[in-house]
Amino acid sequence: MRTLDTSGYSCPEPVIMTKKALKESPEGIAVIVDNRASKENVTRYASALGYSVEAAEGSGCWTLRISR
């Protein structure tokens, strides 16, 4: 699974980056985000496209596993 690190970016940039990555890897990706707004917005976006999202919290960041 491809990993996309969006740490340091604020919305809407992580959503835009996720959109591009999902076009390249439609089976799913892992996205690292470092703020709650990005976590919620990326999760909402992926869910709206029919993906399931599993979030795992780490040291100051979340890894969102987005899959079909």
What φ, ψ does residue 59 adopt, rounded to 5°?
A: -75, 90
SS3 content of the chain, % helix, strand, coil (to 5): 35, 30, 30
Query: Can 11 be counted among the known catalytic residues?
Result: yes
Residue owning tokens 């699974």: 1
From the candidates 5, 9, 11, 53, give the one annotated as an active-site residue. Answer: 11
Catalytic residues: 11
